[in-house]
Chains A and B, each alone.
Chain A
Amino acid sequence: TMILRDGMCPGLDEELVRELRAADIKTVEDLVSSDVEEVAQKCSVSYKALLAVRRVLLAQHTAFPVSGADLYEELLSSTAILSTGNPSLDKLLDSGVYTGEITELSGGPGSGKSQVCFGVAVHISHHLKQRVMYVDTTGGLSASRLLQMLQAESSNVEEQMEALQRIHIFHAFDIFSLLSYLYSLPATIQQVCVSVGGGSVKAVIVDSVSAIISPILGGKQNEGMSLMIQVAGVLRRIAKDFNVAALVTNHVTRGGGGGGGEVQAGLGLSWSHVPRTRILLERTESAGTGHCSVRSATLIKSSRQPCHIKEQFDLQWWSTSKEGSAAKRKLDDSDSR
């Protein structure tokens, strides 16, 4: 809601604001929705002057229409597909995570969501030489793990350090610090662009979004739901306006009555619409109880690929040296058949 203030636009002086307020017109919305002729009479201001004020305010606060053709043109030149560094995941995602949209990894504890996020961050910073804004909400991010992954990529210490510097880490442990960080991201992204080290921000990772949001849902829901929708909104706007890929992680629940139903992404119906693409990560059944690092990934929401295609991959992929990776890739392929 935008309260009318003097100086907001030419012609809107202190006196007019006072008179409008007396006529019960307090906000921009009120003025724009009002019958200008009637208000002009009530406030003893000229119809033309009031109409001009209305027109300027409307132009200041409206969203402007863009032609679909221009939008398409812009999208063609700006959309980037960022490889995750893992061939199996890239296959599910139709080559990688897309800038301009939100991709979600959902899965239970130990399904490898965070490991995938680390791997994607390392790949973007090291191979693509771009920057990553990494929001850790669980305390699960460890610099040594990132370094370990980078050491598998390169033996050059300087390169490792440069790559590490391109991953900007922020720890958020409650919804308000997450929101204030996200609201300040546009400014940060622009600053980072001109800072040393090269590369621009291409990805925002939030691991996990559900760890912060699920505690505030339930009970008297309005506020929690509203905060959740704000997180969704700001993430989507950043993704679109700054052309970055947003990658978030979510927990899972078992739907259908007694909890024995199908596995579903967490955070409920209102959140379910938020990500454009969603992948479900699971431990593989054949893995048994040993600490096997093989996981399965199933595409459960996509506008580009048929859903329910499934791939198996090894979480160790990102931390193994890629020498002789051709043979490794072949192995993965035959596994997934």
Chain B
Amino acid sequence: MAESGAQLFARLEPRRSLKHIEPRLFPDDGGPDHGEVVELHGTEGTGKTELLYHLLCRCVLPAAAGGLETDVVFVDTDYSLDILRLVSILDSRLSAAGGLEEAELRSCLSRLLVVHCSSSSQLLLTLHFLETAFSSRPSLSLLLIDSISAFYWLDRCEGGASVSKQEEKLSKCSELLGRLLRDYRITVFATSHAIRRSYRSPDAPGSSSSSSSSSCSSSEGERPYLCRSWQRLVTHRLLCCRAEAGGNMAAAAGGGNKEQRRRQVFSVHCTSSSSSSSSSSSSSSRLKAYRSSSFYVTDGGVVFI
């Protein structure tokens, strides 16, 4: 398709790299760079949303408050974005950096663009529509999708017996994302919900990580179920889970239930197959790197341990 000079400029204008968005989460020097995709995966109650808000806040906060001052598009497919929660995290980060002015909060929030989608067709069309935003706003460097798995069951049902038909829409979205990642050098963060119960306890339909045993080490939730073309895009996979209940931190806080939840520890295991600049030519054998981290959640957001 033809391209105007302004579009070309926006495309080539260096976008903010998010490589250092959260060094405690990614392997050394292995943060998500231009054109890379981070998937956050986990069951309900494993800290995914808090982690996502943490990363989002880091992007939109001013440099003075430790932020990257970059614009973000938030594609909300689950109608789950909790602006009030986001604001309370921003509030606490801003006031920690000295003084909180209403105007500052507003400027953080205006770096955020929100889109609600309610089907995979609409997601596809919206991503096409967003291309103009990417081409006209070089300050947009992050695309968040919460969640990429939202339409999985709807598409499976609508696709009938044919697997390729079931996966058609998400494949198309993934192909388009691939092009946007290349052309505009943005970074994508997406959550995916665990949707299958562990095979080890087939008689527990509600089985989730909230059971007392830690599920992170097991195979639960690790098997990707989304289409191949999405899997191929993902360069960093963050597997979220609750740390063993009754672990040191939780047990140490003996003073009542309230204290216990404050000390609920979440762990994240990052598997990064990010190609460092030298190995980009040999992408067939991408080097894997790992990093584990833990955090707990306070009123002011995520605190790493």
Which of A29, A71, A240, A255 makes the CB contact (< 8 A) with B207? A255
Q: Is B156 in contact with chain A by the CB < 8 A criterion?
A: yes
List the B side residues contacting A126 at CB < 8 Å.
none
Bound: A276/B44 CA distance, A:
11
Q: Is B5 in contact with chain A by the CB < 8 A criterion?
A: no
List the A side residues contacting B74 at CB < 8 Å.
68
Which of A32, A36, A264, A303 makes the CB contact (< 8 A) with B124? A32
One of B14-22, B125-133, B272-280, B281-289 contacting the partner? B125-133
Bound: A265/B124 CA distance, A:
33
List the A side residues contacting B169 at CB < 8 Å.
29
Which of B49, B113, B129, B210 makes the CB contact (< 8 A) with A262? B210
Mask for A211-253, Cβ within 8 A of B = 1, else 0? 0000001000011011111100100110110000000000011
**Closest residue to A221 on the B side, CB-wise?**
B153
Q: A32-B125, A58-B125 are in contact. Are A264 and B257 (CB under 8 A)?
A: no
List the B side residues contacting A301 at CB < 8 Å.
44-45
Mask for A121-140, Cβ within 8 A of B = 1, else 0? 00000000000000000000
Q: Is A319 in contact with chain B by the CB < 8 A criterion?
A: no
Q: A35-B1, A237-B118, A269-B196 are in contact. Are A62 and B83 (CB under 8 A)?
A: no
Contact B49 A65 (CB under 8 A): no
* Total B residues in contact with A, Cβ cutoff 8 Å: 72
Which of A37, A66, A303 makes the CB contact (< 8 A) with B82? A303
Minimum CB–CB distance for A133 against chain B, Å: 18
Minimum CB–CB distance for A82 against chain B, Å: 16
Bound: A336/B164 CA distance, A:
55
Bound: A37/B169 CA distance, A:
23
Q: Is B98 in contact with chain A by the CB < 8 A criterion?
A: no
List the A side residues contacting B157 at CB < 8 Å.
222-223, 225-227
Contact A228 B204 (CB under 8 A): no
Minimum CB–CB distance for A283 against chain B, Å: 19
**Closest residue to B86 on the A side, CB-wise?**
A68
Contact A308 B260 (CB under 8 A): yes
**Closest residue to B155 on the A side, CB-wise?**
A226
Contact A309 B257 (CB under 8 A): yes
List the A side residues contacting B86 at CB < 8 Å.
68
Which of A69, A259, A269 makes the CB contact (< 8 A) with B193? A269
Q: A61-B125, A240-B79 are in contact. Are A268 and B116 (CB under 8 A)?
A: no
List the B side residues contacting A156 at CB < 8 Å.
none
Minimum CB–CB distance for B225 against chain A, Å: 12
Q: Is B85 in contact with chain A by the CB < 8 A criterion?
A: yes
One of B32-40, B62-70, B104-112, B233-241 contacting the partner? B104-112
Q: Is B95 in contact with chain A by the CB < 8 A criterion?
A: no
Q: A33-B172, A61-B122, A259-B203 are in contact. Are A226 and B111 (CB under 8 A)?
A: no
**Closest residue to A228 on the B side, CB-wise?**
B153
Contact B262 A255 (CB under 8 A): no
Which of B114, B126, B193, B212 makes the CB contact (< 8 A) with A256? B212
Contact A309 B172 (CB under 8 A): no
Bound: A69/B86 CA distance, A:
11
Number of inter-chain CB pairs below 8 Å = 201
Which of A36, A61, A269 makes the CB contact (< 8 A) with B194? A269
Bound: A109/B126 CA distance, A:
44
Contact B204 A29 (CB under 8 A): no
Contact A65 B114 (CB under 8 A): yes
Minimum CB–CB distance for A261 against chain B, Å: 5
Bound: A72/B213 CA distance, A:
39
Q: Is A2 in contact with chain B by the CB < 8 A criterion?
A: yes
Mask for B143-164, Cβ within 8 A of A = 1, else 0? 0000100110110111000000
List the A side residues contacting B141 at CB < 8 Å.
none
**Closest residue to A66 on the B side, CB-wise?**
B114
Bound: A217/B204 CA distance, A:
13
Contact B1 A29 (CB under 8 A): no
List the B side residues contacting A59 at CB < 8 Å.
129
List the B side residues contacting A65 at CB < 8 Å.
73, 113-115, 130, 133
Contact B195 A270 (CB under 8 A): yes
Which of A71, A264, A268 makes the CB contact (< 8 A) with B211? A264
Q: A1-B121, A259-B203 are in contact. Are A33 and B85 (CB under 8 A)?
A: no
List the B side residues contacting A33 at CB < 8 Å.
124, 128, 172, 176
| Residues in A lying within 8 Å of B, measured CB to CB | 1-2, 28-29, 32-33, 35-37, 58-59, 61-69, 71-72, 75, 79, 217, 222-223, 225-230, 233, 236-237, 239-240, 252-259, 261-262, 264-270, 272-273, 276, 300-301, 303-304, 306-310
- Could you list 30 examples of A-B contacts with CB < 8 Å? A33-B172, A36-B1, A61-B125, A63-B115, A63-B126, A65-B113, A67-B113, A69-B112, A71-B109, A72-B87, A222-B157, A236-B80, A253-B205, A256-B201, A256-B211, A257-B200, A257-B201, A261-B211, A262-B210, A264-B206, A269-B195, A269-B196, A269-B197, A270-B195, A272-B43, A272-B44, A301-B45, A303-B82, A307-B264, A309-B258
| Residues in B lying within 8 Å of A, measured CB to CB | 1, 43-45, 49, 60, 73-74, 78-80, 82-87, 106, 108-118, 121-122, 124-126, 128-130, 133, 147, 150-151, 153-154, 156-158, 169, 172, 176, 193-197, 200-201, 203-208, 210-213, 257-258, 260-262, 264
